[in-house]
């Protein structure tokens, strides 16, 4: 345990960790089950195109999420785009400014204008009143994002979408196994899209699933992910290749089998961080509503630089030098990245909460690849940063011209 500033790696000490600690290090459980399925898949010579594992995965998620239809796709970004196409979205669609860029890009790729709304400081999710103020005659939909797996204001948006005749869909990339009002995320709005990217707590290397209770929509999604084919050699419409392959589904099934174990581990990790950092002045850990189900994947910390005596970026620099690759998701806010930043359409867009969070949020390593002892060490380092905040900030300023530890 380091107790003095001079011991920090950024000032020349040995890094606290021999190997890098990642946010989003893939959970690799069920290796044997995965490899056995790969053998079967090779024997069967059915590698993609709506194969048996893809179907098994879809049925598995339908059961787990209590939703009527699950459509597996290549990744969540394509899934969002396919869904936008299936719903006939055009014009403007409201999305949060504080989200992963894929939420916006998936729409913009289809010529739809993402309109960025601010988020609620307490939940980090779309602010319903701001959304309403942004609606125009060109608005066709609202995309709620369940950031960190915490449901956004589903009921408010359902009422608003109904009243204004808008499509409502959710980017549920973070929210697998989360619930809202006791009901699993996956059956709200017209449809919801989950990511099964390798960095998600349950994954299929790359992958995504779209869930809906609308049978007609599900059939359209299946057609669109398969070039628009509606029969063996008949094409009904413009589609794309958004299919999930069998090897992806084999990994997805292995992951789904062990999902509860990973959630338990995520929760333990989260509680361990919370016990150490939950009451530190200037730090605020994202809280999960204990009446609902959560996957506890994200350990997101807000650093109030004034109260903590040190900025989020300074803490990140210290951690990176120690080989703790904490991430500043979702810096600097979607409206301030390309192509939106340079587009006249977005000139003058100000999202005060998004912009503050983009400066304050730091995600910490969790998942099955991180041990309790490692979490304690990360907490020691963060506490050291807070204890010596002003001195540390001065020391870092002096290093600034020569040190480039964090991006």
Min separation Cβ 106 and ligand T4K, Å? 7
C-alpha separations of 140 from 17, 84, 161, 175, 223 in Å: 49, 10, 9, 24, 22
Would you call 179 helix, strand, or coil by DSSP? strand
CA–CA separation, 302 and 336 (whole Å): 20
Assess whether the previous peptide bond of 366 is cis (omega < 30° from 0). Answer: no
Member of 99, 139, 211, 366 binding ligand T4K (CB under 6 A): 99
Minimum CB distance to ligand T4K smaller for 377 or for 386: 377
The yes or no reply on residue 325 touching ligand T4K (CB under 6 A) is yes
Minimum CB distance to ligand T4K smaller for 26 or for 60: 26
Member of 17, 26, 295, 299 binding ligand T4K (CB under 6 A): 26
Q: Give 66's DSSP letter.
A: T
Minimum CB distance to ligand T4K smaller for 67 or for 102: 102
- Site track for ligand T4K across 183-222, x = CB under 6 A: ------------x-xxx--------x--------------
Q: Give 26's DSSP letter.
A: P
Q: Are 46 and 246 a contacting pair, CB within 8 Å?
A: yes
Residue 123 dihedral angles phi and psi, to the nearest 5°? -110, -15
Measured from the Cβ of residue 369, the count of other Cβ atoms closer than 10 Å reads 16
The yes or no reply on residue 110 touching ligand T4K (CB under 6 A) is no
373: phi > 0 → left, psi -120 to 50 → alpha, else beta; which? Answer: alpha
Min separation Cβ 38 and ligand T4K, Å? 17
Would you call 359 helix, strand, or coil by DSSP? helix
Assigned token pair, 139: 């608005």
Min separation Cβ 20 and ligand T4K, Å? 7
Measured from the Cβ of residue 126, the count of other Cβ atoms closer than 10 Å reads 27
- Binding-residue total with ligand T4K (CB under 6 A): 24
- Site track for ligand T4K across 40-79, x = CB under 6 A: -----------------------------------xxx--
Minimum CB distance to ligand T4K smaller for 101 or for 307: 101
The yes or no reply on residue 252 touching ligand T4K (CB under 6 A) is no
The yes or no reply on residue 22 touching ligand T4K (CB under 6 A) is yes
Assigned token pair, 32: 């044997």
Using CB under 6 A as the criterion, which residues of the chain lie in contact with ligand T4K when the complex forms? 22-26, 75-77, 99-100, 102-103, 145, 171, 173-174, 195, 197-199, 208, 325, 327, 329
């Amino acid at each position: 345990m380091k107790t003095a500033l001079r011991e920090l790696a950024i000032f020349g000490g040995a890094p606290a960790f021999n190997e890098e600690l990642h946010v989003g290090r893939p959970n690799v459980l069920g290796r044997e089950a995965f490899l056995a399925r790969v053998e079967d898949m090779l024997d069967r010579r059915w590698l993609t195109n709506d194969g048996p594992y893809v179907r098994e995965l879809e049925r598995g998620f339908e059961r787990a999420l209590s939703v009527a239809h699950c459509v597996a796709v290549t990744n969540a970004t394509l899934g969002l785009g396919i869904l936008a196409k299936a719903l006939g979205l055009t014009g403007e669609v409201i999305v949060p400014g504080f989200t992963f860029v894929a939420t916006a890009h998936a729409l913009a790729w289809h010529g739809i204008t993402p309109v960025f709304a601010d988020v609620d400081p307490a939940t980090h999710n779309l602010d319903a009143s701001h959304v309403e103020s942004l609606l125009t005659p060109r608005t066709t939909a609202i995309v709620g994002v369940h950031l960190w797996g915490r449901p956004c204001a589903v009921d408010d948006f359902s009422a608003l979408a109904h009243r204004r005749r808008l499509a409502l869909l959710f980017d549920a990339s973070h929210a697998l196994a989360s619930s809202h009002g006791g009901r699993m995320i996956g059956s709200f709005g017209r449809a919801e899209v989950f990511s099964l990217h390798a960095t998600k707590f349950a994954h299929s290397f790359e992958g995504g699933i779209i869930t809906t209770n609308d049978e007609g929509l599900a059939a359209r999604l299946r057609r669109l992910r398969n070039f628009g084919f509606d029969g063996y050699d008949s094409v009904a419409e413009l589609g794309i290749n958004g299919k999930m392959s069998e090897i992806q589904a084999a990994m997805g099934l292995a992951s789904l089998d062990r999902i509860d174990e990973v959630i338990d581990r995520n929760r333990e990790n989260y509680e361990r961080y919370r016990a150490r950092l939950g009451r530190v002045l200037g730090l605020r850990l994202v809280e999960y509503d204990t009446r609902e189900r959560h996957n506890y994947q994200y350990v997101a910390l807000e650093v109030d630089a004034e109260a903590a005596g040190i900025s989020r970026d300074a803490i990140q620099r210290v951690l990176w030098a120690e080989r703790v690759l904490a991430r500043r998701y979702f810096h600097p806010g979607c409206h301030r990245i390309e192509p939106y930043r340079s587009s006249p359409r977005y000139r003058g867009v100000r999202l005060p909460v998004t912009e503050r969070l983009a400066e304050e949020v730091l995600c910490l390593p969790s998942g099955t690849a991180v041990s309790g002892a490692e979490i304690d060490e990360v907490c020691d380092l963060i506490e050291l940063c807070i204890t010596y905040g002003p001195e540390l900030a001065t020391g870092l300023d002096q290093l600034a011209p020569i040190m480039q530890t964090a991006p």
